[in-house]
Structure 1
Amino acid sequence: MAENTLTPSGDPTPAVMAPRRPGPSAPVCAPAARLWPDFMTGQEKSPVRVLLIDDDEYMRRVIAQELLSDLRIQLEGQADSIREGRKLLATHAFDVLMVDLRLSDGMGFELIAEARRHHGNGEIIVISALEDDAHVLRAFELGATGYLLKNAWLQSFADAVLHVVNGGAVITPRLARRLLHRLNHQPREPQPADDASPPRDTTLTPRESQVLRHVASGYVSAEIGAKLGITGQTVNVHIKSIYKKLHVHSRAQAVNLAVHTGLI
């Protein structure tokens, strides 16, 4: 399949496909080039820096190959254990950490927590075969902004990296559907008061609830605005209001808190 290239101005231009004999895996035609505005993070001269930690050698190779084929992404380093992952975190600056949960010497939650403590501005995407709600919610509680299943179809690891670094969240569609089902059927029971809970009289407006549901599905502000018929800037205003009401500082925290308190 032909890869897109970037011109000096940053505009994507489709590469020319050389003729080849059709085969079982050969595409019928090249996909349409996708626009990538200059104001978005991830350009050829300033690619998104990624660290990849996974002890599944085959899966790590597949992901690495996809990331390396995208000029908007720079793969800074790879590791296959918590021990080696800690070394990467200590010696490499990064924009996105991609980490498996089940590693040979422990659980990837340790690396997520460490990355959050020492690299607060970095984004974290979990890549795992574990898809139970407890692991998913735990990852988001610790600060992950993405959760992809290794065996899921129709997902792009490169797109996931670019999505989260530009303010979005990514989650495998099957998991997103389950979490939305959970939101819709969460019992509205009183929650014990603690420092992490919003005030008892906290309520979201109908529009804020709509916005938060779309955030839970992984859409970015511009996409949410298009779905609701409002501007992306207006969506961001609603998100800031949600943060203030829920006493949180990220989209993942807002979604997680709303799940546990039944606000949406």
Structure 2
Amino acid sequence: MKSSLQTPPTTADVFGLTSSNGQPYETRHNLASVWPDFLTFEPGRMVRVVLIDDDPHIRRVIAGELTSDLRIDLVGQAECARSGKRLVSSAEFDVMIVDLNLGDGSGFELIEHMKRVRNHAEAIVISVMDDEQRAIRAFELGATGYLVKNAWFGSFPQAVLQVCSGGASITPNLARRLLQRLGAPSAAASVAAGEGTAGESHVLSEREREVLKQVALGHTSPEIAEHFGLSVQTVNTHIRNIYRKLRVRSRAQAVSQASHRRLI
């Protein structure tokens, strides 16, 4: 059953954000009609979400956005790491939205716990900190989203549906910086620095690097296929090769490993 909230404020209300003409941003209560078809998850089934944040006001705002979308079922909320761990262990859900700083613990711990007990679920980090290292650590643990709270107004349902559709959701400015890191020194520079040898199997082809950059931007396989004029099957083959070469099991881990090793 969906949570009942009376006229919840939008994230734009909380942070006082306005559009370029000085008017408040419109609350997005009917996004199903404007989002692309690939953000549908599984036909006939709502996406089940748990929300863990120690700030009750921010939690209420995000909950309001989630419950405004008919495709999302907010099945539980928690205000600390301890209650969050209980919620993750007891609830059936598809996506966990979790703050990194919870007072009595870390969101990193909850991501690790979630991957042990609900390995199929996706994790989206929310944080006030626009920090590359924290984002990379979250991706290494298995998160598929990293959103900066004051930059993701009105779009939390979109983030949920995006990660459930095989994509990633990253605050644009942070995604750009991560891509800059990915595109900085080449694999040859890493080899020279002692991070690998030329004979290692994890060196990516040019096309694999291009595909991985699109993955880092949060694009799904159909979107990447359309961008490069390829079939979805070919894109998925590239992604499987990337996994094999980087010895990872998820898109987020592939982006994190490539960034860490400076392979692209």
Give the TM-score band, short-chain normalised. Answer: 0.7 to 0.9
Give, as a single letter, the amino acid of the residue that structure 1 aligns with 2:206: P
Q: Distance in 1 between matches of 2:83 and 2:154?
A: 27
Change (3 A) 1:76 1:261: same
Give, as a single letter, the amino acid of the residue that structure 1 aligns with 2:244: K
SS in 1 for 2:49: strand
Alpha-carbon shift at residue 33 of structure 1 (Å): 2.5
Give, as a single letter, the amino acid of the residue that structure 2 aligns with 1:137: I
Higher RCO (CA < 8 A, seq sep 6+): 2
Tell me what 2:65 maps to.
66
Q: Distance in 1 between matches of 2:125 and 2:198?
A: 27
Q: Distance in 2 between matches of 1:122 and 1:32?
A: 22
Tell me what 1:216 maps to.
216
Give, as a single letter, the amino acid of the residue that structure 2 aligns with 1:220: T
Which is richer in helix? 2
Give, as a single letter, the amino acid of the residue that structure 1 aligns with 2:41: T
Q: Distance in 1 between matches of 2:175 and 2:110?
A: 24
Tell me what 2:228 maps to.
228
Alpha-carbon shift at residue 37 of structure 1 (Å): 4.6
Residues 39 and 165 of structure 2 are in contact (CA less than 8 Å); yes or no, is this contact kept in structure 1?
no
Residues 39 and 161 of structure 2 are in contact (CA less than 8 Å); yes or no, is this contact kept in structure 1?
no
Instruction: Determine if the alignment matches structure 1 residue 168 to structure 2 residue 167.
Output: yes
Q: Distance in 2 between matches of 1:112 and 1:199?
A: 34
Alpha-carbon shift at residue 200 of structure 1 (Å): 2.3
Q: Distance in 1 between matches of 2:51 and 2:39?
A: 26
Alpha-carbon shift at residue 186 of structure 1 (Å): 3.6
Q: Distance in 2 between matches of 1:152 and 1:159?
A: 14
Deviations 1:196-249 (A, max 9, x none): x99724322211110001101111111111211212222111101111222211
SS in 1 for 2:240: helix
Change (3 A) 1:198 1:132: farther
Q: Distance in 1 between matches of 2:39 and 2:152?
A: 30
Change (3 A) 1:36 1:176: closer
Q: Distance in 2 between matches of 1:183 and 1:161?
A: 25
Change (3 A) 1:59 1:226: same
SS in 2 for 1:103: coil
Alpha-carbon shift at residue 180 of structure 1 (Å): 0.8
Tell me what 2:134 maps to.
135
Change (3 A) 1:36 1:262: closer
Residues 198 and 246 of structure 1 are in contact (CA less than 8 Å); yes or no, is this contact kept in structure 2?
no
Tell me what 2:207 maps to.
207
Tell me what 2:87 maps to.
88
Deviations 1:39-72 (A, max 9, x none): 94244x4100000000111111111011101111
CA RMSD of aligned residues (A): 2.6
Give, as a single letter, the amino acid of the residue that structure 2 aligns with 1:70: D
SS in 2 for 1:76: strand
Aligned length: 236
The unaligned stretches of length 5 or more in structure 2 are 1-22
Instruction: Determine if the alignment matches structure 1 residue 252 to structure 2 residue 252.
Output: yes
Residues 42 and 72 of structure 1 are in contact (CA less than 8 Å); yes or no, is this contact kept in structure 2?
no
Q: How does 1:35-114 map to 2 (within 5 A)?
A: 37=37, 40-43=40-43, 45-114=44-113
Change (3 A) 1:84 1:129: same
Q: Distance in 2 between matches of 1:198 and 1:77?
A: 49
